[in-house]
């Protein structure tokens, strides 16, 4: 398994300052400069098509195909009223590298678990809906977060990726691209936009809209405005946040990121924005080395970034304390119009890219608590986005238990979690970190 490596980016005041023209990217056969990768002329790829709107509801379950055209919910009102969960899948099957932890097996493993545990539309009917054939994000959608030069450059680089099979696009880091990476990445960003549309539409019909979950890859929270980073190509959750503001007038957006790694790309995108509150819990000292507790935003955005680095070994106790003492009070004070969640499952004790020890039960607690927070504060408007999680067993069982939390059904964590795999949490260090964050942010 590959180790995450910190790319050679200068860091100033907690802000990543990417200089892409200085990157080195290694192709299959020879080294390239990042600029040469992005300036390579390539053939145009056909846009991923969308089907006409149709609802497929029968004894096999319900799935919805969205109409090509303006971005809004194509779901009939009765389906939106009945649904408890809306989800989209974008497995990016062509974006894959042999033996890479961020593989194309991740989303199919989740889908298989949902089916086996009878949490799929086939078993749940109108309670659980999968939206299919949604539109990819437009260049304008993505450009609210990422530079135009990065977007167009990556699209052009697909020609070289097609010729060579696979190229590295981050220089010293582990982010790769294949011939399908651009199209599959904008499709994954489009999944989040589609779910925002649908959840917002449902919230206008009643007080209990369904929660959305974008089961997509590549993940997004490390991608900085000027380029890719840490397995991530486009900032899916950041794109959705800007879309919610511009398309739906949801001015105040809260982003909760519980991936084991700091979501530096999301943090950078909104570091000076007073209307987007970014809150990250992550392992102290882990990749990419950002997310220090004293980094709180800058300019007008000072105070709307909250980083809570947790010591290695932190687990269920730490996150219950963090939710009660940090996440909930921060949300209650901020008063968001929508809550978006970077749901990384790599903090699980069985995931070896870091050393926190969350369990399936920890993720169930987080999903249940965030769902209730959204109901209390913003009319239930909430969308989750898949980020990390590389042990297929713990990833799939934890996402499945997240679905059970959304359905207000008991956790099955006891079937998946072996208490023998856990060791005592460093409670003193956990309490010190939480108290320090509370002091910095006057919680």
Confidence of residue 8 (pLDDT cuts 50, 70, 90): very low
| pTM summary value | 0.86
User: Which is higher by pLDDT, 178 or 54?
Assistant: 178
pLDDT tens for 339-391 read 999 999 999 999 999 999 999 999 999 999 999 999 999 999 999 999 999 99
Whether the pLDDT of residue 38 is over 90: the answer is: no
Exposed (0-12), middle (13-18) or buried (19+): which is 282, by Cβ within 10 Å? buried
Residues 360 and 399: their CA atoms lie apart, in Å, by 8
Cis peptide before 406 (omega within 30 of 0): no
pLDDT tens for 298-340 read 999 999 999 999 999 999 999 999 999 999 999 999 999 999 9
According to the model, what pLDDT value does residue 349 have?
97
Choice among 146, 221, 222, 348 that is catalytic = 222
Query: Can 59 be counted among the known catalytic residues?
Result: no
pLDDT tens for 60-92 read 444 444 443 345 556 889 999 999 999 999 999
Confidence of residue 39 (pLDDT cuts 50, 70, 90): very low
According to the model, what pLDDT value does residue 403 have?
98
pLDDT tens for 242-263 read 999 999 999 999 999 999 999 9
According to the model, what pLDDT value does residue 71 have?
54
Residues 151 and 6: their CA atoms lie apart, in Å, by 22
User: What average pLDDT does the segment 401-413 reach?
Assistant: 98
Q: Provide the β-strand partners of residue 11.
A: 16
Confidence of residue 40 (pLDDT cuts 50, 70, 90): very low
Residues 237 and 317: their CA atoms lie apart, in Å, by 27
According to the model, what pLDDT value does residue 59 have?
34
pLDDT tens for 205-214 read 999 999 999 9
According to the model, what pLDDT value does residue 72 have?
52
Distances (CA, A) of 388 to 264, 274, 401: 14, 27, 16
Q: What secondary structure does DSSP assign to 327-395, as a single string?
A: IHHHHHHH--SEEEEEE--TTBTT-TTS--BB-HHHHHHHHHHHHHHHHHHSTT-EEEEE-----HHHH
Q: What percent of the chain has pLDDT over 70?
A: 83
Whether the pLDDT of residue 231 is over 80: the answer is: yes
Q: What percent of the chain has pLDDT over 90?
A: 81
Distance between first and last Cα of the chain? 40
């Amino acid at each position: 398994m590959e180790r995450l490596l910190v790319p050679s980016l200068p860091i100033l005041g907690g802000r990543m300052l990417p200089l892409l023209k200085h990157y080195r990217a290694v192709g299959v056969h020879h080294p390239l400069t990042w600029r040469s990768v992005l300036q390579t002329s390539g053939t145009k790829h056909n846009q991923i098509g969308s089907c006409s709107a149709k609802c497929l509801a029968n004894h096999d379950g319900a799935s919805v195909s969205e109409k090509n055209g303006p971005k809004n919910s194509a779901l009939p009102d009765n389906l939106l009223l009945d649904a408890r969960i809306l989800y989209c899948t974008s497995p990016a099957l062509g974006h894959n590298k042999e033996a890479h932890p961020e593989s194309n097996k991740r989303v199919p493993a989740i889908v298989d678990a949902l089916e086996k545990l009878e949490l799929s539309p086939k078993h749940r009917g109108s309670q659980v809906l999968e939206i299919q054939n949604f539109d990819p994000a437009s260049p304008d959608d993505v450009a609210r977060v990422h530079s135009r030069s990065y977007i167009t450059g990556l699209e052009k680089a697909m020609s070289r990726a097609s010729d060579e099979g696979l190229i590295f696009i981050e220089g010293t880091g582990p982010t790769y691209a294949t011939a399908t990476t651009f199209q599959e990445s904008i499709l994954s960003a489009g999944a989040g936009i589609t779910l925002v549309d649908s959840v917002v539409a449902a919230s206008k019909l009643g007080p209990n809209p369904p929660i959305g979950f974008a089961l997509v890859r590549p993940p997004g929270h490390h991608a900085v405005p000027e380029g890719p980073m840490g397995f991530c190509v486009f900032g899916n959750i950041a794109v959705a946040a800007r879309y919610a503001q511009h398309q739906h007038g949801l001015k105040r957006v809260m982003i909760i990121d519980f991936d084991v790694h700091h979501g530096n790309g999301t943090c950078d995108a909104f570091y000076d924005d007073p209307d987007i509150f970014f809150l990250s819990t992550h392992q102290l000292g882990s990749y990419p080395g950002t997310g220090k507790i004293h980094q709180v935003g800058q300019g007008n955005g000072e105070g709307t970034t909250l980083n809570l680095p947790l010591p290695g070994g932190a687990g269920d106790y730490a996150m219950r304390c963090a939710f009660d003492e940090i996440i909930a009070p921060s949300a209650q004070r901020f008063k968001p119009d929508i809550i978006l969640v970077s749901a990384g499952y790599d903090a699980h004790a069985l995931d070896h890219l870091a050393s926190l020890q969350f369990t399936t039960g920890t993720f169930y607690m987080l999903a249940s608590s965030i769902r209730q927070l959204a109901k209390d504060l913003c009319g239930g408007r909430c969308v989750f986005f898949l980020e990390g999680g590389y042990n297929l067993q713990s990833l799939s069982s934890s996402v499945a238990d997240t679905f059970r939390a959304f359905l207000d059904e008991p956790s099955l964590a006891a079937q998946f979690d072996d208490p023998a795999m856990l060791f005592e949490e460093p409670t003193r260090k956990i309490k010190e970190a939480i108290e320090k964050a509370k002091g910095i942010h006057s919680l």
